[in-house]
C-alpha cells in the first residue's frame, strides 16, 4: 500500500507539470502570430531575477489612463478601481497599426478577429508578456541593448486573447555587442531605430 501511495505522490506532480508544459507548448505553436516593438523598460525593476522587463507597444495609444479616470469618476469609494480588464483588437491578419481599444465585455459584439486580453493597472495596459527569461550570462547584453535600441517581440495569440511569447529579437547579436558594433540605422534598419 505504501508503494502505491509513494508512486502516486511522485506521479501526480510530474503528470501535472507535463500537462502544464503541453498547454504552454500548444499556445506557443498555435494561434495568430504578431510582432510588437518593445521600447523602453521598467526603471523600477529592470532585471528581476533572470527576467528582463520591458514595455510593449501594442499599437493604439494607451487608453488605460482615460478609462481609469472614468472608472474613478463613477466609483470614488471602490477600492478595486485600480485594475480592470481591457482588450486591444486587431484586424485579420493581425497588425499593430490596425489596433483599437475595446471593452472585453463587448468583444463578441465588436466582431474582433484577433484580440489581446489584459488589464489596466495604475494607468498601464498589461497582458502578461512584459517580461522575458534571459540567461544569466547574457543579462547585461539584454539590459543594455533593450535600453538603447529596443527590440521586436513575437507572440502567438490564442482564440481567448491570451498571448504567449515566441521570441524576443534584438538588433545586435551577443558577439557584435561584445565587440562594440553598432546596429544599422536608416530606412533599411531591421528595427527602424
- Alpha-carbon distance of 139 to 39, in angstroms, equals 17
Q: Indicate whether 3 and 45 sit together in one domain.
A: no
Residue 186 lies in a domain: no
pLDDT at residue number 68: 46
Residue 189 lies in a domain: no
Q: Indicate whether 21 and 109 sit together in one domain.
A: no
Q: Indicate whether 45 and 87 sit together in one domain.
A: yes
Q: Indicate whether 43 and 133 sit together in one domain.
A: yes
pLDDT at residue number 101: 85
- Alpha-carbon distance of 102 to 91, in angstroms, equals 13
| pTM, 2 dp | 0.74
Q: Indicate whether 161 and 110 sit together in one domain.
A: yes
pLDDT at residue number 72: 45
Domain that holds residue 8: 1-30
Q: Indicate whether 22 and 97 sit together in one domain.
A: no
Number of domains the chain contains = 2
Q: Indicate whether 18 and 100 sit together in one domain.
A: no
C-alpha cell at 72: 474613478
Please tell me the number of Cα atoms within 13 Å of 108 on its side-chain side.
Answer: 1
Tens of pLDDT along the chain (193 residues)? 888 888 888 899 999 999 999 987 887 777 888 999 987 665 555 555 677 888 888 887 766 766 544 544 444 444 455 677 888 888 877 788 888 888 888 777 667 888 899 988 777 888 989 888 888 888 888 888 888 888 999 999 888 888 988 888 999 888 988 888 887 765 444 455 4
Residue partners of 43: CB distance under 8 A and separation at least 6 = none
Residue 183 lies in a domain: no
Give which of 135, 126, 141, 143 is closest to 40, Cα–Cα: 143
Residue 192 lies in a domain: no
Q: Indicate whether 26 and 37 sit together in one domain.
A: no
Residue 78 lies in a domain: yes
Residue 50 lies in a domain: yes
Task: For residue 51, list its beta bridge partners.
Answer: 48, 133
Q: Indicate whether 108 and 64 sit together in one domain.
A: yes
Q: Indicate whether 26 and 41 sit together in one domain.
A: no
Residue 178: Cβ within 10 Å count:
10
pLDDT at residue number 46: 52
Amino acid at each position: 500500500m505504501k508503494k502505491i501511495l509513494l508512486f502516486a505522490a511522485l506521479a501526480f506532480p510530474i503528470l501535472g507539470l507535463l500537462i502544464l508544459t503541453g498547454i504552454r507548448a500548444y499556445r506557443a505553436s498555435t494561434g495568430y502570430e504578431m510582432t510588437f516593438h518593445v521600447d523602453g523598460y521598467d526603471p523600477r525593476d529592470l532585471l528581476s531575477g533572470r527576467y528582463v522587463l520591458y514595455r510593449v507597444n501594442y499599437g493604439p495609444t494607451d487608453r488605460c489612463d482615460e478609462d481609469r479616470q472614468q472608472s474613478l469618476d463613477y466609483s470614488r469609494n471602490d477600492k478595486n478601481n485600480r485594475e480592470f480588464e481591457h482588450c486591444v483588437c486587431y484586424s485579420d491578419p493581425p497588425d499593430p497599426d490596425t489596433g483599437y481599444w475595446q471593452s472585453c465585455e463587448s468583444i463578441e459584439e465588436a466582431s474582433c478577429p484577433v484580440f489581446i486580453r489584459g488589464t489596466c493597472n495604475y494607468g498601464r495596459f498589461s497582458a502578461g508578456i512584459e517580461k522575458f527569461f534571459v540567461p544569466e550570462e547574457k543579462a547585461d547584453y539584454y539590459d543594455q541593448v533593450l535600453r538603447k535600441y529596443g527590440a521586436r517581440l513575437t507572440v502567438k495569440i490564442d482564440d481567448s486573447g491570451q498571448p504567449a511569447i515566441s521570441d524576443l529579437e534584438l538588433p545586435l547579436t551577443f558577439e557584435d555587442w561584445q565587440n562594440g558594433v553598432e546596429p544599422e540605422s536608416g530606412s533599411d534598419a531591421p528595427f527602424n531605430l
